[in-house]
Amino acid sequence: MIRRRVTPWWLALALPFLLGASPPVAEVAPLSLRYDVYARGFPVLSLDFRLDESAVAYDVTGTVRPRGLLGALSDFTLRTESRGAVAGEKLRPSMHDSASRARRKERRAHLDFRRDGSVVAALTPADDPDHRLPTAEQVVGSVDPLTAILTIGHVVAQSGSCQAKVAVYDGRRRYDLVLTDDRAAGPERPEHGKSAELRRCALDLVKLAGFTSDRNRPPRTEHGKVWIMPPLRPGMPPLPARIEFHSDWGPITVQVAPSGVAK
């Protein structure tokens, strides 16, 4: 049974985008990251992650907490995890969990991904009358948000380009995540002082079902950009250095913190 509840779409998008990975070629230590999120230039969230990927499996966890004025006014937290198998050049999720708290209310989602491509979702609370549920047909063959961005990282590392399209389902929403080469972009230097050049990609999020205003409307697309930096040290995956997009909160920027990579 497919059930859902919604959190801001841009947060659902930003969270997994911080976790792109390259094809595993050797066993490496887990990678811990921190990013800061700004709305209209003001700090609103911190994003802390841990990625553990081997030649045969991956495990990603993340924690989101409010910062600045939002931190003083909100009790919001989000914890999420995805696990799955690495099968050749493909990532196959097995489970995805998320648990959030806001305004003293808790919401949870658990997804089980089956070998036939179907997805079983259990949501708490179970129903949301303000949103249209994705159909069973819409979610077949989809992956969770964290696995989606790990997949995009693999594509970028393998092909050297930003050409990727992934069907994504988080238990509440169904959307396509599309990455293309930004042909107007030239080489850029990362803001945190690294010497390597960044790859700038165009980012589209095509909303298909599960969003607040999707009733009686065709699919809609939100646009953004992501700057991907090369591995910070041997054995590490290529990672986003910066993400920019628009939201109901205004312009959103997700930026790797100066000390965002734990040694």
pLDDT tens-place string over residues 33-84: 898 999 888 898 998 888 888 888 999 998 999 987 776 777 889 999 999 9
- Rounded Cα gap, residues 126 and 159, in angstroms: 41
By DSSP bridging, strand 220-229 and strand 199-209 are antiparallel
Radius of gyration of the chain (CA): 17
Question: In which band, very low, low, confident or very high, does the pLDDT at 218 lie, cut at 50, 70 and 90?
Answer: low
Question: Which strand (E) or helix (H) includes residue 102?
Answer: strand 90-102
pLDDT of 121 strictly over 60: yes
- Rounded Cα gap, residues 39 and 263, in angstroms: 29
- Rounded Cα gap, residues 11 and 179, in angstroms: 18
User: Which pair of tokens denotes residue 23?
Assistant: 């094809």
Locate the domains of the chain by residue range. Answer: 9-261
Please, where are the H alpha helices in 54-200?
68-73, 136-139, 145-159
3-state DSSP assignment of residue 70:
helix
The second-level CATH assignment, the architecture, of 9-261 is Beta Barrel (2.40)
According to the model, what pLDDT value does residue 257 have? 83
Count of CA atoms in the C-beta half-sphere (13 A) of 154: 21
Mean pLDDT, range 209-238, rounded to an integer: 73
Question: In which band, very low, low, confident or very high, does the pLDDT at 1 lie, cut at 50, 70 and 90?
Answer: very low
Helix axes 145-159, 9-17, angle to 10 degrees: 50
Mean pLDDT, range 123-127, rounded to an integer: 83
Residue of higher predicted confidence among 176 and 49: 176
pTM of the model: 0.79
pLDDT of 10 strictly over 90: no
Residue of higher predicted confidence among 256 and 120: 120
User: Which pair of tokens denotes residue 180?
Assistant: 């293309």
According to the model, what pLDDT value does residue 225 have? 92
According to the model, what pLDDT value does residue 6 have? 42
